């Protein structure tokens, strides 16, 4: 048997006998250099957001004489019109943005993925009903729909989270549905049925692991878009409200100073760019890692 194994193994693409290198598809996902760069970028943003409040000055400490200053030793990124430390406020804003986005995107995935799987695996009627509802939600521009929802519910962080979850949910459902449609005819799904696996288990313990890699890409891209959406809605005054720091809110306050103190606009602007960009980079990297045509995935390494 051993010698048969060593002979036949060659025929399997990407086969490796080294137990230590036997990677799951998730590990392959993070093998791409772009994915690693994305991970580092997200890590830096997370570090600023999480560790910032611990080491930086109070973001709400007003120091009027020090208002509208550029970067200095006391205030690394300068101060706003109230003399508040900009770096502290950016860190606070990032933190708000990140948890809000992560929470709403997480909720979107938790609702969207099962919905998509049920649609993809279910009968024609179930699928048609779910698909049409999703299409209806998708027909609205993302930001506009979020705006409607917040306008209807009233401004506030919780309502913003609900709005974001709602607008991102269809993307997850659509992804899961198309994956499920492919998986329902897969040999191992039929085999699992033949072994007597109940339908619900086929969905969540047989099919779901195969949806995880593309889901990861969708998750990180969506968090990026959600940060952007959050900033936009806060800018419009529909999200986070002062005095709490939020990146969109800072941009809004900075509007009045664009000509006199442009630095005030640049700092939150760049922070948004970094936060969104790092999520996009991570998503792109994972996507590349999973794509065999780009040299990742299950190709011989």
Partner 1 sequence: MSGEALVRVAGLTVTARGRRRGDDGATIVRDVELELDRGKTLGVVGESGSGKSTVALSILGLLGPGLHAEGSVAFDGRELLHRSEPELRPIRGAEIGAVFQNPFRSLNPSLRVGVQIRETVMLDGHERRAAEQTAIELLGQVGLPDPERAAASYPHTLSGGMQQRVAIALSIARDPRLLIADEPTTALDVRVQAQILELLARLVRERDMALILISHDLGVVASVADRIAVMYSGRVVESGPAADVFRSAAHPYSHALLESAPRLRGPHGLAASLRGSATPPSVPMDGCRFAPRCTFAVPRCSTNEPPLEVVDDRGHRAACWELPWTPTAHGDAAELRKSRS
Binding status of residue 55 toward partner 1 by CB under 8 A: no
Binding status of residue 19 toward partner 1 by CB under 8 A: yes
- CB nearer to partner 1: give 19 or 54: 19
- CB nearer to partner 1: give 14 or 33: 14
Cα(57)–Cα(89) distance, integer angstroms = 9
- For CA atoms 170, 41, 159, 139, give the dihedral sign: negative
Least distance from partner 1 to the Cβ atom of residue 3, Å: 10
Least distance from partner 1 to the Cβ atom of residue 48, Å: 34
Tokens matching residue 96: 């708000």
Binding status of residue 209 toward partner 1 by CB under 8 A: yes
Least distance from partner 1 to the Cβ atom of residue 39, Å: 21
Binding status of residue 15 toward partner 1 by CB under 8 A: yes
- CB nearer to partner 1: give 152 or 194: 194
Rounded to the nearest angstrom, the gap between the alpha carbon of residue 23 and the centroid of all alpha carbons in its chain is 24
Q: Residue 41 in contact with residue 278, Cβ under 8 Å? A: yes
Segment 167 to 196, residues that bind partner 1, using CB under 8 A: 186-188, 190-196
Contact pattern for partner 1 over residues 210 through 229, marking x by CB under 8 A: x-x-----------------
- CB nearer to partner 1: give 205 or 255: 205
Stretch that binds partner 1, among 92-100, 101-109, 208-216, 268-276 (CB under 8 A): 208-216
Alpha helices in the chain (DSSP H): 2-8, 25-29, 33-55, 86-121, 124-138, 142-153, 157-183, 187-194, 199-201, 208-235, 247-254, 263-290
Report the C-alpha dihedral over residues 47, 48, 51, 53, rounded to 10 degrees.
Answer: -160
For 50, 74, 76, 85, 92, the CA distances from 56, given in Å and listed in that order, are 11, 10, 10, 9, 10
Binding status of residue 126 toward partner 1 by CB under 8 A: no
- Phi first, then psi: give them for residue 61, nearest 5 degrees: -75, 115
Binding status of residue 205 toward partner 1 by CB under 8 A: yes
Burial class (CB in 10 A: 0-12, 13-18, 19+), 88: buried
- CB nearer to partner 1: give 77 or 215: 215
Cα Rg for the chain, rounded, in angstroms?
Answer: 23
Cα(186)–Cα(122) distance, integer angstroms = 15
Segment 140 to 169, residues that bind partner 1, using CB under 8 A: none
Least distance from partner 1 to the Cβ atom of residue 283, Å: 20
Burial class (CB in 10 A: 0-12, 13-18, 19+), 230: buried
Binding status of residue 294 toward partner 1 by CB under 8 A: no
- CB nearer to partner 1: give 17 or 259: 17
Least distance from partner 1 to the Cβ atom of residue 175, Å: 16
Least distance from partner 1 to the Cβ atom of residue 66, Å: 56
Task: Pick from 133, 197, 237, 263 the residue near partner 1 by CB under 8 A.
Answer: 197
Binding positions for partner 1, rule: CB under 8 A: 1-2, 4-5, 7-9, 11-17, 19, 22-25, 186-188, 190-199, 201, 205-206, 209-210, 212, 298
């Amino acid at each position: 048997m051993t010698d048969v194994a060593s002979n036949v193994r060659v025929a399997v693409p990407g086969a490796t006998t080294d137990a230590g290198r036997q990677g799951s598809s998730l590990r392959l996902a993070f093998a791409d250099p772009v994915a690693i760069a994305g991970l580092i970028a997200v890590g830096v943003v997370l570090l600023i957001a999480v560790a910032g409040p611990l080491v930086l000055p109070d973001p709400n400490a007003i120091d009027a004489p020090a208002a509208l200053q550029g970067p200095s030793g006391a205030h690394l990124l300068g101060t706003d019109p109230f003399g508040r430390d900009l770096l502290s406020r950016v860190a606070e804003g990032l933190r708000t943005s990140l948890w809000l986005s992560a929470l709403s995107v997480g909720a979107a995935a938790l609702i969207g993925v099962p919905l998509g799987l049920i649609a993809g695996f279910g009968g024609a009627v179930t699928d048609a009903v779910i698909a049409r509802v999703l299409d209806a939600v998708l027909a609205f521009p993302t930001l506009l729909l979020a705006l409607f929802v917040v306008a209807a519910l009233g401004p506030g962080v919780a309502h913003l989270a609900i709005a974001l979850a709602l607008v991102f949910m269809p993307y997850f459902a659509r992804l899961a549905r198309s994956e499920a449609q492919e998986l329902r005819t897969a040999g191992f799904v039929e085999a699992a049925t033949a072994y007597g696996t109940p339908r619900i288990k086929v969905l969540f313990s047989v099919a779901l692991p195969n949806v995880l890699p593309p889901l990861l890409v969708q998750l990180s891209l969506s968090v990026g878009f959600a940060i952007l959406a959050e900033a936009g809605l806060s800018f419009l005054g529909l999200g986070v409200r002062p005095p709490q720091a939020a990146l969109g809110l800072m941009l809004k306050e900075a509007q009045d100073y664009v000509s006199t103190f442009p630095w005030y606009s640049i700092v939150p602007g760049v922070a948004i760019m970094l936060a969104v960009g790092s999520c996009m980079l991570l998503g792109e990297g994972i996507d590349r890692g999973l794509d065999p045509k780009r040299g990742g995935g299950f190709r011989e390494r």
